[in-house]
Structure 1
C-alpha cells in the first residue's frame, strides 16, 4: 500500500516558539520531506512577528521574495505550501478592518502561488477584548465560526482551489470535550480542516478512540497536530531525537492525517521525521526502534552511526515516556550497587563497565564534533554533545577519585577535576541523561568527606 492509502495529509508544521528557520533551512526541509512521502508544509512559527504578534503588518518586500522562492520550490517538489496567520492573539472579531487585514495578507501569499491557508486560534485566552464583540457574538466559538466561515468563502470566491484549515483554541483533551469544540464543529463549513493534538498538548499516546471522540465532537475527521519532536518553551533544554511511538495503527480510520511540529533544530528533526515517514507508509507494520536506527544512519551517515547512536540512546527524554538513558542507568546502578556492597572501584567489573561506557561516550562526542560530515546536524547537536562530554568526564573522574583513595594516592587533582565537571553539568542549560550519574557522584563525595 502507498502512503496516501493510509493518511491523505502527511505534513510538517513550522509551528514552534523560539528561533525559527532560515529560508535555506526551510527549503532544505521541504526537499527532505518531498523525498520521504510527505505532501504538506505549514508555515506558522510563533515568533514570526508578522505571523502572530504584529500580524496586521505586511511582510517586508525582501521577505516576500524569499517566500515566493520557497513556494516555487515547494511546488517543484510536489509539496503543498500552507501559510498560516496567528491573528487570534489580538483580533477584534467584530472589526471589518481586521478582517480586511487578514484577507490582505492572504492575498499577498495567494499572489505568489499559495492556495492553502490556515488561521491559528491556539494558545490564546478564550475571552473577548472589545465591547462590540460581546454585542455581536453570543460565544467565543460563535466568533470563530463566523470569522473562519467568512474567510473560507472569501478564499473560495478568490479561487475555488483554495483551502482553509483551523487550529482551535481547545485543541487537545478527551471526551466529552468543551462546549466550544461542539459549537465549532457544528458551525464550521465541512471543508475546513480542524487540528487535534491528542489527549494532551504533547501526547504520549494518541488512540483511535480519543481521535474518534474528537471527530464526533467536531463533526469531521480531524488532522492530528503531533507535538513531537517539538522542543520549545519548557522543553527547550531537551533534544528529541527518538522515534515516534504511541500512535495507534488504526488512526487512518478516524483522522485525515498528521502534521508534525518539528524542533527549531531542523536537521536533527529529520531523525524523528523519518520514523514518522515509516509509520505513514504502513502503520500496521511500523517498528519504531529498527526504523529509528535506520534514520540515525541515514541522517548522520554510515561512518557516524555508532557515535550518533551512543549519543541518541542517552537523549530519549520526551513526552513519549520511554526511558531516558536505559543502558547508562543500568550500568550506573550496577556500579553503585557493587561499590555499596564493598567491592573496590579498582577491581569491580561493574565499575569498569561503566567507565568503559563513559569512555565511549567521550569518543562519540569527539567524533560528532570533529569527524561527522553532516555539519548541520553537528551544529544542531553541539550544546547537547558538550554536556554529554562533561557527564562522561564527571563519571570517570568520580571513579578516578575512588581508585586514588583505595591506593592511598593524593586525590587533590582528580577531586578538583571532578568538581569542575560537576559544576559544568549544573550550569549547563541543556538536559542530557537526567540525574542518572548523580547518586554515584554523591557516593564519591561522601567518601571524600
Structure 2
C-alpha cells in the first residue's frame, strides 16, 4: 500500500504562482494579522506574533550538527509541498534570503536570539516556535527544540501554520508558540483479538503518529503466535525483517516502538530457563533497535501454576502469590536486562488485575515490585465509560505509582461491538489526568485507518488535556482524514455520525447518531406543529447527504486505507440514505393525496432498507466474524418504523407512543443493568435482556386503559424466532393479538384495528434465535393522539 502524506489543510500550487514567488516580496506585502489556524494537538501556548509571512520560491534553512535529521527531512518536505522550489541549507544565515528558517536546539545561540521573548520550555519533547515577519526580507522562522523530538514536533506544528492565499500561494501565520506534552507516553497498543494489522497498516500508523505527536506504539497483537503462545521462540527471519522496518519507521517519526511479550499462559516464574528464553527474545529485539519493552500478564488464569517450582517457591496458587511471583520475575527483567542495556526505557507491564482500583492481595504483592516498572491500567472497568482524576489518583495508590492507561477505545473485538465501526470522538476523560498518569495508549480497532479518528483525540488529549475539546478535535480528525478538503470532511462527518455509538460491557457511553437524532427530533416537532411538508423537506435534505456521503468519501481526498476499512459500512450507509429519501418521498406523496405513488415508494424504501440491513462485514477482520453492519441502529431503523407506522395509520390520524408513561416488568433479567425499565425509557441505546429461557416475557402496564393502534419491537441481536404480542386488562388473563414467526430481528412494526382499551401489553417469547436470552431496545405502544 502506498503511503500518502496527510495534511491538515488544502495543498496545491500552480506553476505560475511558483514562478511569481521567485521574486522576493517585501515584508510590508504580508497580509495583516488575523485568526491563527487551528493546530493539533492544541499547543500549551499559542499567540499572534505580528503579520503573516509570505512564502517565496526560495528559502534558507540554518542548521548545525545538533539539528535532528528527521526534523530537517520533514521541514524540506513541507516547504516543497507549499511551493518552495529552492531550499538552501546553511550553517549560518546569509541575511539575504527572502525567508530564513532556523532549525535546531532551542539553546543554540542564533535560535535563542531569533525566539526573542518566546520561551523555550524545559519539558522533554518541548519546543518553541516564532514566525516573525519583521526579521529579514520576508521574515524569519525559529524552530527550537528541547531535544530532537521537540525539533521534529516544531516542524509538525509549522506545517499547520501554512495558510493558502487567493493567488494559489501560501503564507505562514505569524505566531509565537511555546509547547510541550502533558503526558510522557502517548499513542496506541495493538492489543486487540482477531486479525492483527498488516505490515503496511502498521507502517502507515507510525507515520500518522508522527503527524499527531504520538510517541508510543506498543506491539502486542494477541493473535501473533510469537507474542503469546510461542513466546519462547525467536522470530523467523522474514518476520524479524518486518519488525526491523517497523522499528526504523518508528524512529524516523519519533515514535517509541515498544515490544511486548506475553508469557503468562505458560511461564514458570521461578525458572531460570524461562527467564533466559524471555531475555533472549528481548535481546533479539534490542539488536533491531528496540529500546522499550512491555510484559503483558493480562487475560490469564492466575489461580494455577505452570510448574512445580512456582508452588515450591511461592506457595499454593492464589491471587496474592501470583502477584508475588510476577513482581519477582519482572524485577529480574528490570534489573538484569533493562538496566544493563544502554538506552532502554523502564519496563512496562500489564497486571492480571488491570481494570479497577479495589485493593487486593494481588495488588498488595505487586506494590513490592521495583518502582521503576510502569504498570498499565484500563480504568474502572475493562471498557470504562469515563476516566476521572479521582480514579487515577486511587489507581496510583493501589498500584504504587502513576499508572499508564490502556484505554479500550475504539477497540471493537468484543460482542457488544459486533458489526460496528467506533467513530465517536475521544471523550469522557477528565482534564487534569496528565498530573496523575504516566500516559495513555488507545487500544484501537482491527480496522487500522478507521481508528485514526479516536487516536487523533488520544494524541490531542495526552498532549494538552487541560485544553482538550472533544468536538473540535473530532472535526480536526475528520479534516485530517479528508486531507483538508472541506467537502470530503463534511461527508465524513455525516458518515461518522452514523457510527457514533460507543458500547461498553454495560450501557453505551456515547450515543448513536446524535446529529441525525437531533434532526429527526426536529422533524417530529415540525410535524406535530402541523407543517408536515416542511418537516419532510428539511429532513430529506439531510437524508440525501447520507445517501451521497459514501460516494463522496470514496471519490474524494479521503485516506484510501480508511475507504478500504469502512467499505461495508459505506455500502450500508448509502442504502440506508437512499431508502430514507424514498420513504420521505412516500410521505410527501401521501401529503399530496397520491396514495398509489406513496405505497410504491414506501415498498421500494422497505426493500432498500432490507438490503441495507443485510450488508455484512466482509472481509472479516474481527473475532465476531461476518456480522451484519450496524449503521445508526436504534435511530434510523426506528425512524423508518415510525414513519411506516404513520403511513399505515394515515387515515386514523396522528398516533403517540404511550409506553414511556407506563411501567415495565419482566419475567427475568440477565443482569441488573439490562432491567425491564429500559424497554420503555425512550432511549434507543438502553435495552432489556432476559434470562436464558424461551418463555421469557416483558410487559408494560399502561398509565390508563388505552386503545392500542400499533406496536413496535426494536430488537437487539439477541432476538426471537417466534413470539406473541398479547394484551390484558388485569395482568392475568391474556389475549394474543399477533403471533410472529418472521421477525426482522431489527424493528418489527405491527398495526391493529382494535376497539377495546387495554391496560397491559406483553411480548411473550416462544423461541429464542440464539443461546442468549431475548434483548429489546424499545417496546413502542401507540394510541391515537
> In structure 1, what is the Cα distance between the partners aligned to 2:585 and 2:489?
30
Tell me the alpha carbon deviations over residues 372-391 of structure 1, each in whole angstroms, 9 at most, x when there is no partner: 34211211222221221222
Give the alignment of 1:18-29 within 5 angstroms: 18-29=194-205
Give the alignment of 1:260-339 within 5 angstroms: 260-303=442-485, 304-319=488-503, 321-336=509-524
Once the two structures are overlaid, the 10-residue window that deviates more, 273-282 or 109-118, is 273-282
* Deviation for aligned residue 1:285: 1.6
Once the two structures are overlaid, the 10-residue window that deviates more, 206-215 or 317-326, is 317-326
Aligned with 2:567 (options 375, 382, 395) = 382
Aligned with 1:168 (options 342, 346, 351) = 351
Tell me the alpha carbon deviations over residues 116-155 of structure 1, each in whole angstroms, 9 at most, x when there is no partner: 1111111222221436133332311112112211222231
Closer, same or farther: CA 182–439 of 1 in aligned 2, 3 Å: same
> In structure 2, what is the Cα distance between the partners aligned to 1:440 and 1:242?
21
TM superposition score normalised by structure 2: 0.53
1:102 matched to 2:315: no
Unmatched runs of 5 consecutive residues or more in structure 1 = none
Closer, same or farther: CA 125–351 of 1 in aligned 2, 3 Å: farther
* Deviation for aligned residue 1:436: 0.9
Any conservation in 2 of the 1:336–1:440 contact (CA below 8 Å)? no
Any conservation in 2 of the 1:300–1:377 contact (CA below 8 Å)? no
* Deviation for aligned residue 1:410: 5.2
> In structure 2, what is the Cα distance between the partners aligned to 1:156 and 1:410?
74
Aligned with 1:134 (options 308, 311, 315) = 311
* Deviation for aligned residue 1:86: 1.6
* Deviation for aligned residue 1:194: 0.3
Q: Partner of 1:426 in structure 2?
A: 613
Aligned with 1:40 (options 198, 204, 216) = 216
* Deviation for aligned residue 1:295: 1.8
Closer, same or farther: CA 72–245 of 1 in aligned 2, 3 Å: same
> In structure 1, what is the Cα distance between the partners aligned to 2:436 and 2:259?
25
Tell me the alpha carbon deviations over residues 336-386 of structure 1, each in whole angstroms, 9 at most, x when there is no partner: 5666x5969xx5311222222111111111111233342112112222212
* Deviation for aligned residue 1:17: 1.5
Give the alignment of 1:15-414 within 5 angstroms: 15-130=191-306, 132=308, 133-138=310-315, 139-156=321-338, 158-162=340-344, 163-174=346-357, 176-185=358-367, 187-234=368-415, 235-303=417-485, 304-319=488-503, 321-336=509-524, 347-404=532-589, 406-409=593-596, 413-414=600-601
> In structure 2, what is the Cα distance between the partners aligned to 1:288 and 1:33?
18
Q: Secondary structure at the match of 1:117?
A: strand
Q: Secondary structure at the match of 2:188?
A: strand
> In structure 2, what is the Cα distance between the partners aligned to 1:311 and 1:116?
38
Q: Secondary structure at the match of 1:256?
A: strand
> In structure 2, what is the Cα distance between the partners aligned to 1:53 and 1:197?
23
Q: Higher helix share goes to which structure?
A: 1
> In structure 2, what is the Cα distance between the partners aligned to 1:373 and 1:256?
34
> In structure 2, what is the Cα distance between the partners aligned to 1:337 and 1:78?
52
Any conservation in 2 of the 1:315–1:325 contact (CA below 8 Å)? yes
> In structure 2, what is the Cα distance between the partners aligned to 1:118 and 1:227?
17
Any conservation in 2 of the 1:372–1:378 contact (CA below 8 Å)? no
Any conservation in 1 of the 2:338–2:347 contact (CA below 8 Å)? no
Aligned with 1:436 (options 635, 651, 662) = 635
Closer, same or farther: CA 95–137 of 1 in aligned 2, 3 Å: same
CA RMSD of the aligned region, Å? 2.4
Any conservation in 2 of the 1:128–1:134 contact (CA below 8 Å)? no
* Deviation for aligned residue 1:312: 1.5
State the aligned residue count: 444
Any conservation in 2 of the 1:398–1:440 contact (CA below 8 Å)? no
> In structure 2, what is the Cα distance between the partners aligned to 1:42 and 1:377?
22
Structure with bigger RCO (C-alpha 8 Å, 6+ apart)? 1
Any conservation in 2 of the 1:238–1:318 contact (CA below 8 Å)? no
Larger Rg: 2
* Deviation for aligned residue 1:412: 6.3
> In structure 2, what is the Cα distance between the partners aligned to 1:28 and 1:191?
32
Unmatched runs of 5 consecutive residues or more in structure 2 = 1-43, 45-125, 127-178, 316-320, 616-627, 649-750, 752-785
* Deviation for aligned residue 1:403: 4.3
Once the two structures are overlaid, the 10-residue window that deviates more, 70-79 or 219-228, is 70-79
Any conservation in 2 of the 1:177–1:214 contact (CA below 8 Å)? no
Closer, same or farther: CA 329–364 of 1 in aligned 2, 3 Å: same
Any conservation in 1 of the 2:296–2:349 contact (CA below 8 Å)? yes
Q: Secondary structure at the match of 1:249?
A: coil
* Deviation for aligned residue 1:426: 3.2
> In structure 1, what is the Cα distance between the partners aligned to 2:327 and 2:306?
18
Any conservation in 1 of the 2:192–2:221 contact (CA below 8 Å)? yes
Closer, same or farther: CA 435–394 of 1 in aligned 2, 3 Å: farther
Closer, same or farther: CA 330–74 of 1 in aligned 2, 3 Å: closer
Q: Partner of 2:689 in structure 1?
A: none
* Deviation for aligned residue 1:5: 4.8
Once the two structures are overlaid, the 10-residue window that deviates more, 13-22 or 415-424, is 415-424
Tell me the alpha carbon deviations over residues 89-117 of structure 1, each in whole angstroms, 9 at most, x when there is no partner: 23233444333322221121112111211
> In structure 1, what is the Cα distance between the partners aligned to 2:609 and 2:547?
16
